[in-house]
Structure 1
Amino acid sequence: MPDNSDILLQLSGVHMHVGQYHILQGVDLVVPRRGLTVLLGRNGAGKTSTLRTIVGMWKASCGTVRFDGTDITQAATPDIARSGIAYVPENMAIFSDLTVRENLHLAARAGKMDQARLDWIFGIFPALKRFWQTPAGNLSGGQKQMVAIARAMIEPRKLLLIDEPTKGLAPAIVQHLMDALQQLKATDTTILLVEQNFNFVRHLGDTVAVMDDGHVVHAGTMADLAADASLQERLLGLSLTEH
């Protein structure tokens, strides 16, 4: 485990209930500062629920969520966002009737977008500049995903949570998204990425955690998991490696 100074986010014994359902059952997760941590697991393992609990959309029934040294377990979602966490949900949640520009403008807390940061985002996602005045609903799935990630990046963030960004995307768009995330990794932004496409994340991740039945069953380096086919099969089955 990294030294405490190198840990940006830590979940310790986190349980979460939705009604009568016990969704998270003692999640222990460490996200080192900088780099990219991948959260893997089958559908229903608790990956998305973990992200929602981190950002306060769902509240932990017990356990602790600490971000950058501060306990945020029971903090309100707007306060968590202001602390430096941005969340890109699986459904992207963009405003289809608004233009690309308007979607990003709404996410700028200062009420205006910093041009230098905007130029940096255009460097990562050149298509957004071409479609700047286009309603976001008219874009392709991959372009909408770019809008969703760019919107989360329009302000400096310490931690970016991204939920299954490759779902439903064509291989060429997936490759472009991989290139963009590689560029993000070179910045001070830490990324926690939920994915099921193991072949996508095996080249991106620095560290990895695998979830099953509401808790983490494996944590380590991505290099070790990528090099161990038997471990992949035991933890992930065949469904992920066949992507």
Structure 2
Amino acid sequence: MAEPLLHLSGVHTHIGPYHILHGVDFAAPAGQLTMLLGRNGAGKTTTLRTIMGLWQASSGTIRFDGNDITKNGTPDIACAGIGYVPESMGIFAGLTVRENIVLAARSGPVDSARLDWMLGLFPALRRFWNLPAGNLSGGQKQMLAIARAIAEPRRLLLIDEPTKGLAPVMVRSMIEAFKALKEAGETILLVEQNFHAASVLGDTVIVMDDGRVVHSGIMSELVADKNLQRRLLGLSLDTHQ
């Protein structure tokens, strides 16, 4: 297995009086897509937000590329090469698709080759390039949110439930886009509730419950073990094709 690019060790997170993460430990290998699974309320989104510095870990250590980023601010974490796509997507609805991409490329204009690659992943964005992002469908907005995250090269992408609420045809398009990102060597930590998508895309998997990691391993092994699926997630992946 590849060396971990991201490593969480004993991470606890409190939000006000609430203790959300209880000693989270896991590693995300470089060049792989790691699935972060679990029931609603398991702590998956809190984990992403803690990595990104949007919520500060109360204790424990977060290491990225060998460096301790536990207490770093969100701008510094972003500058270190971590891109974040929240569940809310965070696009600017009143700006055009092009303007959203321009704003995301803080270092200057997006390289033409990189722009062609991005628009190849998400062809709909080329069609709506000069239209307000608020006019896009839910799936197209999600595509724009991911395109914004990769407008500049990133070492790690944190993506929260990109297929949530999407029609099956859009889910298939999203799966193909993630396959292409994997082939390009991107390292991705992906929260997902669509278990078919998880089974197709995941290299490694972490399962959370009640703010703790209850399982980590190879995604294909979880796919092959129906009893383990039911024990960890309360269902079988076979029922979510």
Q: TM-score range by the shorter chain?
A: over 0.9
Give yes or no for the alignment of 1:208 onto 2:211: no
Specify the alignment match of 1:136 in structure 2: 133
Specify the alignment match of 2:151 in structure 1: 154
- Indicate conservation of the 8 Å contact 2:230/2:236, yes or no: no
Within the candidate set 32, 36, 42, 2:33 is matched to: 36
Give yes or no for the alignment of 1:164 onto 2:146: no
Map 1:51-62; keep pairs closer than 5 Å. 51-62=48-59
- Indicate conservation of the 8 Å contact 2:63/2:70, yes or no: yes
TM-score by length of 2: 0.97
**Structure 2 CA distance for aligned equivalents of residues 69 and 190 of structure 1:** 15
- Indicate conservation of the 8 Å contact 1:15/1:22, yes or no: yes
Unaligned runs of 5+ in 2: none
Superposition CA RMSD, Å:
1.1
Within the candidate set 84, 87, 91, 1:90 is matched to: 87
CA displacement 1:171-227 (0-9 Å, x = unmatched)? 000000000000000113100000111111101000000000001000000010000
Moved over 2 A (4+): 238-243
Q: Secondary structure at the match of 1:203?
A: helix
Deviation at 1:241, TM superposition (A): 5.7
**Structure 2 CA distance for aligned equivalents of residues 201 and 221 of structure 1:** 12
CA displacement 1:117-137 (0-9 Å, x = unmatched)? 100101111111111001000
**Structure 2 CA distance for aligned equivalents of residues 48 and 239 of structure 1:** 23
**Structure 2 CA distance for aligned equivalents of residues 34 and 46 of structure 1:** 24
- Indicate conservation of the 8 Å contact 1:197/1:241, yes or no: no
Specify the alignment match of 2:11 in structure 1: 14
Specify the alignment match of 1:50 in structure 2: 47
**Structure 2 CA distance for aligned equivalents of residues 241 and 100 of structure 1:** 37
Give yes or no for the alignment of 1:67 onto 2:64: yes
Larger deviation, residues 170-179 vs 104-113:
104-113
Q: Secondary structure at the match of 2:235?
A: coil
**Structure 2 CA distance for aligned equivalents of residues 241 and 48 of structure 1:** 25
State, as a whole percentage, how many aligned pairs show the same letter: 67
Deviation at 1:238, TM superposition (A): 2.4
TM-score by length of 1: 0.96
Within the candidate set 206, 230, 233, 2:230 is matched to: 233
Deviation at 1:239, TM superposition (A): 8.1
Unaligned runs of 5+ in 1: none
